[in-house]
Structure 1
Amino acid sequence: MSAAETEVVDLCRDLIRIDTSNFGDSSGPGERAAAEYVAAQLAEVGVESTILESERGRASVVARWGNQDSTRPGLVVHGHLDVVPAQAADWSVDPFAAEIVDDYVVGRGAVDMKDFDAIMLAVVRERQRSGRIPDRPILLVFTADEEAGGQLGAHWLVEHHPEWFEGCTEAIGEVGGFSTQVAGQRLYLIESGEKGIAWLRLKAAGTAGHGSMRNPDNAVTHLARALVNLGEHEWAAEPGPSMQLLLAKVRELTGTDGTPDELFEHFGPAARMIGSGLRNSTNATMIQGGYKHNVVPGEAVAYVDGRPLPGHHDGFVERVQQIAGDTVTVEPYHLDIPLEYAFEGDLVDAMTVSLLKHDPEAHVAPFLMSAGTDAKAWHKLGMTSYGFVPLRLPADLDFTALFHGVDERVPIDALRFGTRVFDEFLDLA
């Protein structure tokens, strides 16, 4: 077992134990402690890094590595340090204790995404010690604030410190490279695009009054009707290039055909995330209204997480307004673009070959991710980005449910597999 495989588990556990919960309003602990840990791990093997703060405690780490004298374009390898909050009472173990249970590391961030932070550190440390420096410029980036859209992390770095990214044309990060099962065969999914973000605020106005009286102009009722309209709306399946390639792979592996939704049933529970790349989506996530049991409020507000496909970003808010109806107003409070890149070229070949070398009977295909990543920030600088966190997973693990889920966990074997594949990738990239 390599040094990277030996220490990746401890690195992952150390990172999980550093609480970097991101509540979206800078009320959490921030990423500074985790950033200092990362910087220390890099410094121990002679890799200099810089910690950059967008606000007090909201810290990202950047470090140049690899052959900086090479004429080849630079590659950004990135992971984020923040995690979504965890309700400890819901978990079977302390979400920040990083316990090992049944050969899994359990804790908030084990999947999203301190697993890859640890893989990055383990492989860089081993290669640095042995003098196996990649033959192209590498920029290691560990960002703040990804879980709240990256405005204090990746987007802030691009706006305020673009000099760090000069010469970089490609990037790899979350979410992709993990295995799933189709017709009893292992299929690794590489993210080659992601849906846009349209976080929306819906406001309903009505006539305030006593709760005991008839009130046909009730703001809460208006809002509820709009949310039902959105919740029941059937967005059409419109697979783009990445999902068309994935559908073709499913047909190949299963020997069957059918509608996109029928084909994605072969992924089992994983279809909840993978199949979300087929269509636009809207999900109500928060409701606010009223202040006393017997008072009808004059206004009610709801928040909706909208995710448009590539090519559907323009006009998406207007379409949501049409579906919601004229009893509410729909306004965006955070928008970001969808992305999609061709599944071809040397970087894609390097990811594919490195996976198949360590799992030769498997298959590889692209997919469009339902959520957003820091790739949206790198896109502003003209970079092509892919999701590549190589994990070989047990066939019975409902992996996609672990993102932001209770008892989030990653198999120890998958962490070690990831170090082997990522090390191989760095020789090929």
Structure 2
Amino acid sequence: MIEDEVVRLTSELIRIDSTNTGEPETTVGERAAAEYVARELGDVGYEVEIVESGGRDRLNVVARLAGADRSRGALLVHGHLDVVPADPAEWSVHPFSGAVQDGYVWGRGAVDMKDMVAMTLAVARRFKREGVVPPRDLIFAFVADEEAGGAYGAQWLVDNRPDLFEGATEAIGEVGGFSATLGPDLRAYFIEIAEKGIAWMRLRVRGRAGHGSMIHEDNAVTKVAEAVARLGRHRFPIVLTDSVREVLAGVSQLTGLVFEEDDLEGSVAKLGPLARVVGATLRDTANPTMLKAGYKANVIPSVAEATVDCRILPGRQEAFERELDEILGPDVEREWITHLPPVETTFDGELVDAMRAAILAEDPGATTLPYVLSGGTDAKAFHTLGIRCFGFAPLRLPPDLDFTALFHGVDERVPIDAIQFGVRVLDRFLRNC
């Protein structure tokens, strides 16, 4: 049964340690994960293309299933094979055990995003075994390096092998289609229609080198620390984009909550755990994440650096950079390390109707709503090919599970019945897309 297979696939994928540290020398396991996926597809008869993307063991897997109407645009179903690091000492189960216990599949990647990779594999294998012909071509892509921006994954494929996605007009991937309980017997599935832009920034401050025992008025470490503190405490202005307005309007219509613009954050806070997701899309953010300076305890270095994770709303890039200049001042050099644009579409059309129908067939009392992702996905690369991108990895979640906290978190896990629900929804959706 497909419900049993998706549990097996999720667990086995998690057991492959495909940690992406962001440094090519220490990133591991993407080759093993790609070869596993290729075997699972090849075993049922797919012609699989394995593409090495210029880095050591950075492999991507692509397969296509012909549809009934090949004149229609193809649907791309994409997932990434890499995961962020995990420290086993912090976990109650080993992060690469793939343990199936207490109603969950446990481990790094359980929700980001080996669950969706497993659901996609399970459906793809079933379609091939049973001779299912979908309404349109389906392109299955399993890629490397999403957790570090996609330079060896989706972005490399878009730049170097766009032929693999020939004819694709729409796509689904992470993070969307998950449920949230908004009240008694009130469950909504949130489908992602937009993402903030990602801009990882390096700050650099120069000073005068010297002996650590001396009075020193031009200390680069002090200056970068002060700049980082100013930026970390700063709150960018609330900006209501069209997509966020659509999200709030949908929630308001469903729940009766009123989102007063003069106290928008207070109103959003009433959404409980969902407030973390929605609140992060009300404004730009710039969170310092790394510091680098010095090489000896008694030497004042001439250069100190900081890394900042910036997430920028659509249409806000120029205003955001002006604000950065005001906060940081003229002595702080800025350099963009990674710069990926925002992605935005609308919550309408036949594909959205098919998503809604697939969910409601499995959960008749529910509804679907759009939302905006504060993070980023490989949609940032694929949308540059003119592909309309959505986040749709369906999961029916327990009301008390703080789902968003599991992404990159300790004890990451996914409910077994959630992925079994999800694989049924995905099967139904891809038969009618």
Is TM (by shorter chain) over 0.5?
yes
Partner of 2:17: 19
Partner of 2:191: 190
Matched-pair contact (CA < 8 Å) for 2:69–2:135: no
Runs of at least 5 residues in structure 2 that lack an aligned partner in the other structure: none
Local SS of the residue matching 2:281: helix
Local SS of the residue matching 1:278: coil
- Higher deviation after alignment, 335-344 or 310-319: 310-319
Deviations 1:356-393 (A, max 9, x none): 22112222111111111111111111110000000000
Aligned equivalents of 1:247, 1:69: Cα separation in 2:
37
Matched-pair contact (CA < 8 Å) for 2:268–2:275: yes
- Higher deviation after alignment, 27-36 or 150-159: 27-36
Matched-pair contact (CA < 8 Å) for 1:286–1:302: yes
Deviation at 1:207, TM superposition (A): 1.9
Distance 1:276 1:348, change over 3 A: same
Deviation at 1:66, TM superposition (A): 3.2
**What CA RMSD, in Å, does the superposition of the two structures yield over aligned residues?**
1.5
Q: Determine what percentage of the aligned residue pairs are the same residue.
A: 53
Deviations 1:133-170 (A, max 9, x none): 21201100000111110010011111111111111111
Structure 1 residue 95 corresponds to structure 2 residue 100: no
Aligned with 1:303 (options 301, 307, 311) = 307
Aligned equivalents of 1:56, 1:24: Cα separation in 2:
13
Aligned with 2:348 (options 340, 344, 351) = 344
Aligned equivalents of 1:340, 1:66: Cα separation in 2:
28
Deviation at 1:318, TM superposition (A): 4.1
Aligned equivalents of 1:323, 1:181: Cα separation in 2:
39
The letter of the residue matching 1:121 is L
Aligned equivalents of 1:267, 1:29: Cα separation in 2:
39
Matched-pair contact (CA < 8 Å) for 1:94–1:107: yes
The letter of the residue matching 1:171 is A
Deviation at 1:427, TM superposition (A): 2.3
Partner of 2:282: 278
- Higher deviation after alignment, 321-330 or 231-240: 321-330
Aligned with 2:296 (options 278, 292, 299) = 292
Deviation at 1:266, TM superposition (A): 2.7
Aligned equivalents of 1:260, 1:183: Cα separation in 2:
20
- Higher deviation after alignment, 203-212 or 131-140: 203-212
Aligned equivalents of 1:376, 1:216: Cα separation in 2:
44
Aligned equivalents of 1:306, 1:383: Cα separation in 2:
25
Partner of 1:212: 213
The letter of the residue matching 2:124 is V
Matched-pair contact (CA < 8 Å) for 1:201–1:332: yes
Deviation at 1:267, TM superposition (A): 2.8
Partner of 1:423: 427
Matched-pair contact (CA < 8 Å) for 1:313–1:337: no
Structure 1 residue 49 corresponds to structure 2 residue 53: no
Local SS of the residue matching 1:407: coil
Deviation at 1:69, TM superposition (A): 5.7
Aligned with 2:333 (options 329, 335, 339) = 329
Runs of at least 5 residues in structure 1 that lack an aligned partner in the other structure: none
Partner of 1:381: 385
Aligned equivalents of 1:324, 1:4: Cα separation in 2:
54
**Equivalent pairs, count:** 427
**TM-score, structure 2 length as denominator?**
0.95
The letter of the residue matching 1:203 is R
Aligned equivalents of 2:347, 2:360: Cα separation in 1:
16
Deviations 1:266-303 (A, max 9, x none): 33233223321111100000001122223222211000
Aligned equivalents of 2:2, 2:20: Cα separation in 1:
29
Aligned equivalents of 1:38, 1:267: Cα separation in 2:
38
The letter of the residue matching 2:90 is D
Matched-pair contact (CA < 8 Å) for 2:178–2:393: yes
Aligned equivalents of 1:211, 1:293: Cα separation in 2:
7
Deviations 1:26-63 (A, max 9, x none): 22224111111111111121122111011231000000
Deviation at 1:321, TM superposition (A): 2.6
- Higher deviation after alignment, 23-32 or 131-140: 23-32
- 1:250-265 equivalent positions in 2, closer than 5 A: 250-257=251-258, 258=260, 259-265=263-269
- Higher deviation after alignment, 305-314 or 414-423: 305-314
Local SS of the residue matching 1:380: helix
Local SS of the residue matching 1:277: coil
Structure 1 residue 242 corresponds to structure 2 residue 222: no
The letter of the residue matching 1:52 is V
Aligned equivalents of 1:317, 1:377: Cα separation in 2:
23
- 1:29-178 equivalent positions in 2, closer than 5 A: 29-54=28-53, 55-67=55-67, 70-178=70-178
- Higher deviation after alignment, 288-297 or 193-202: 288-297
Aligned equivalents of 2:431, 2:403: Cα separation in 1:
28
Distance 1:324 1:101, change over 3 A: farther
Aligned equivalents of 1:271, 1:346: Cα separation in 2:
29
Deviation at 1:82, TM superposition (A): 0.6
Partner of 1:399: 403
Deviation at 1:315, TM superposition (A): 5.0
Deviation at 1:211, TM superposition (A): 2.5
Distance 1:314 1:74, change over 3 A: farther
The letter of the residue matching 1:82 is D
Matched-pair contact (CA < 8 Å) for 2:247–2:372: no
Partner of 1:319: 323
